[in-house]
Amino acid sequence: MNTPGQGRAGDVAIYALGLGDDALVLAQRMGEWIASAPELEEDVALGNIGLDLLGQARALLTYAGSADGRTEDDLAYLRGADEFCNVLLVERPDDGDFAHCVARLLVFSAYQAELYARLASSGDETLSAVAAKAVKEVAYHRDHATQWALRLGDGTEESHRRMQAGLDAVWPYVDELFAADELEPGLPGVAVDPAELREPTVAYVSGVVGRATLAVPDVPAAPGGGRAGRHTDALVSMLAEMQGLARAMPGVTW
Amino acid sequence: MYGNHDTTSVPVEAPAADDPTFDRDFMALIDDDGRVEPRDAMPDAYRRGLVRQIAQHAHSEIIGMQPEGSWIGRAPSLKRKAILMAKVQDEAGHGLYLYAAAETLGVDRADLLDRLHTGRQKYSSIFNYPTPTWADIGAIGWLVDGAAITNQVPITKCSYGPYARAMVRICKEESFHQRQGFEILHTLSHGSPQQHAMAQDAVDRWWWPSLMMFGPPDDDSPNSARSMRWGIKRFSNDELRQRFVDMTAPQSHALGLSLPDPELAFDALTGHWRYGEIDFTELFEVIKGNGPLNAQRMAHRTDAHERGDWVREAALGYAAKHARTEAVA
Ligand SMILES: [Fe+2]
Ligand SMILES: [Fe+2]
């Protein structure tokens, strides 16, 4: 894992990098749906969500990089998978299954909504500004995912089955969102304790799952470790695609 | 629209004064530069011609998402990624406006998409060319969106109100796209030698196909006369093509890139840029389906649509169920 800068400023940078990587990796996944969504309205909506996430990622990476003189692009394009500190939930491939996309977005946006609501009152001015803007964006993402979870869960037999399968597939990665963050205790009043987000996030998601006539999955958690740079092959192939051109021609301006 | 080369469809006869279905009042409205609105009576052939044109325009917008969409994941900087994502999303929005405009004429989007998927309606052939390098994203923005604007600005004054209004919104966004494409090429052209070569190669490949977006030469354009008579088309294919050349030739100098036409030269007498002869045999091959990527574009589109079948059915099922519940409650 990378250590941008030293001491407290370095810790804030690492914290921002984790949140920024979450947003960047999910933005990249959303981008895969544009021109491949089930209907045109969805190409637009998923594109909007991807753009919001990309905006959050850029602000957070820029801030993280400012600790040691790296740009957002240095961080996005010149780190290997083992230097990324996103949670594993966001790197999972959807494999073109819209139910997986909705299930992930439901969980992740519910988590982000709780996170940013608290981070908006962070003692760190930059983080609080990013969060204050993002909190409105993720409210829309969460609403969008909620509407689809209801339609798919309570639509047809097939969509019910697929939506349940989507939830089952993402659920093992939920735990990691709330895993203790080794930096957080050292950043009181700046970072948010992830453990605090579990109850409200799960309550929101379970409420939607119930209304959608679906069941909250009862599956064992997958191993986490994303924040520490332990990732799946899915991230490795995503980065190979994302970074290919930038790495092939280093040092130029695009 | 993205292209005027609608040569494969059966031309609808232009109304003649001695035709019993000819609506004298309607033509008076057109001659008076009036706007036709959805509830107005209109000759059937006018309606059918418009449906076809607007639908094919809409299809072009959504198929056009593919060549650029394939670069969203690979854009070489986050800023470029954001701009490209927004652009491709804009094109989806253009598709939506245009399908909505077509629906005011009594057809529905699902049916029009079906006509696209079964090959009964076309989309602009320009999107059957590949985008092998990042510079293609610049060339598409500069040339393809540039040609689209040239074609579309006159449609903002066309006789059918909903089409004209959709086009006002669309043209605003297309001009952003063109500027962004120009900027990508400008950066590449003034970057490393390898980047410059990449930009030049893309412009070399896209120049002639973008000239063909204006359709066949006027003498060979069976549908143009009818469209012009009805106030749907305001300028001929060749007039629009000339406008485009006059706009882009000087811009290529600002870019520091050349255009692949040795005969391209400014004619001080006419005030226009002269250009070499266009080889339309290639265009007709692409229209017939023999372009580099016709099959791939259609396969991608129908695949996305079919993979979305269950999602759209679920949305309908949910809506029906909940309409019933509300009615009972
Ligand atoms: Fe467009
Ligand atoms: Fe465009």
- Residues in B touching A28 (Cβ below 8 Å): 73
Which of A43, A77, A97 is best to mutate for the B interface (most B CBs within 10 A)? Answer: A43
The pLDDT value recorded for residue B329 is: 58
- Residues in A touching B81 (Cβ below 8 Å): 31, 54
Q: What is the arithmetic mean of pLDDT over A149-164?
A: 98
Decide: residue B108, CB within 10 A, 0-12 exposed, 13-18 middle, 19+ buried.
exposed
Q: Does the beta carbon of A39 lie under 8 angstroms from any beta carbon of chain B?
A: yes
- Residues in B touching A253 (Cβ below 8 Å): 187, 191
- Identity of residue B111: D
Q: Does the beta carbon of B180 lie under 8 angstroms from any beta carbon of chain A?
A: no
Which residues are within 8 A (CB) of B222 and not within 5 positions of it... i.e. 6 or more apart? Answer: B7, B11
Tell me the C-alpha distance between B6 and A209, whole Å. 49
The pLDDT value recorded for residue B6 is: 45
Asked if the structure places residue A118 within a domain, the reply is yes
Integer angstrom CA distances of residue A105 from A23, A92, A159, B270: 12, 12, 17, 59
CA distance A174 to chain B (A): 25
By three-state DSSP, how is residue B142 classified? helix
Number of A/B CB contacts below 8 angstroms equals 145
CB A178 within 8 A of CB A198: yes
Asked if the structure places residue A220 within a domain, the reply is yes
Domain span at residue A216 reads: 7-248
Asked if the structure places residue A2 within a domain, the reply is no
Give tens-digit pLDDT for A214-227: 999 999 999 999 99
Cα A128 to averaged position of ligand 2 atoms, centre (Å): 36
Cα B241 to averaged position of ligand 2 atoms, centre (Å): 18
- Residues in B touching A161 (Cβ below 8 Å): none
DSSP string covering B21-51, please?
Answer: T--HHHHHHHHTTPPB-TTS---HHHHHHHH
Cα B173 to averaged position of ligand 2 atoms, centre (Å): 7
Residue in chain B closest to A25 (alpha carbons) equals: B73
The pLDDT value recorded for residue B13 is: 47
Q: Does the beta carbon of B233 lie under 8 angstroms from any beta carbon of chain A?
A: no
Q: Does the beta carbon of A61 lie under 8 angstroms from any beta carbon of chain B?
A: yes
Contact call for A47 and B318, based on CB within 8 A: no
Give the residues across from B266 on adjacent strands.
B273
**pLDDT value at A170 more than 50:** yes
Cα B59 to averaged position of ligand 2 atoms, centre (Å): 13
Asked if the structure places residue A51 within a domain, the reply is yes
CA distance B230 to chain A (A): 30
Give the residues across from B265 on adjacent strands.
B274
Of all residues in chain B, the percent with pLDDT exceeding 90 is 76
By three-state DSSP, how is residue A159 classified? helix
Cα B321 to averaged position of ligand 1 atoms, centre (Å): 36
Which residue from B85, B305, B314 is facing A51, i.e. has the nearest CB? B85
CB B130 within 8 A of CB B67: yes
Contact call for A155 and B317, based on CB within 8 A: yes
Asked if the structure places residue A227 within a domain, the reply is yes
Tell me the C-alpha distance between A164 and B216, whole Å. 53
The pLDDT value recorded for residue B22 is: 60
- Residues in B touching A36 (Cβ below 8 Å): 69, 300, 304, 307
Give the residues across from A139 on adjacent strands.
none
- Please name which of A51, A56, A49, A71 lies closest in space to residue A19, comparing C-alpha atoms: A56
**pLDDT value at A30 more than 70:** yes
pLDDT band at residue A124, thresholds of 50, 70 and 90?
very high
- Residues in A touching B318 (Cβ below 8 Å): 150-152, 154-155
Give tens-digit pLDDT for B109-130: 999 999 999 999 999 999 999 9
pLDDT band at residue A5, thresholds of 50, 70 and 90?
low
Q: Which two tokens stand for residue B149?
A: 């604007």
The mean pLDDT of chain A is 95
Contact call for A31 and B85, based on CB within 8 A: yes
Neighbours of B297 (CB within 10 A): 19
The pLDDT value recorded for residue B323 is: 87
Which residue from A35, A44, A57 is facing B96, i.e. has the nearest CB? A44
Neighbours of A30 (CB within 10 A): 25
By three-state DSSP, how is residue A52 classified? helix
Tell me the C-alpha distance between A203 and A206, whole Å. 5
Report the number of distinct structural domains present in chain A. Answer: 1
The pLDDT value recorded for residue B32 is: 86
Cα B147 to averaged position of ligand 2 atoms, centre (Å): 10
Tell me the C-alpha distance between A156 and A149, whole Å. 12
Which residue from A32, A51, A253 is facing B82, i.e. has the nearest CB? A51
Tell me the pTM. 0.94
Contact call for B78 and A72, based on CB within 8 A: yes
Asked if the structure places residue A212 within a domain, the reply is yes
Residue in chain B closest to A34 (alpha carbons) equals: B69
Residue numbers in chain B where pLDDT is lower than 70 = 1-22, 222-223, 328-329
Q: What is the CATH number of the domain that holds A153?
A: 1.20.1260.10
Asked if the structure places residue A235 within a domain, the reply is yes
Q: What is the arithmetic mean of pLDDT over A53-78?
A: 97
The pLDDT value recorded for residue B328 is: 66
The pLDDT value recorded for residue B140 is: 98
CB B162 within 8 A of CB B38: yes
Cα B260 to averaged position of ligand 2 atoms, centre (Å): 23
Torsion of CA A74, A78, A82, A83, to 10 degrees: -20
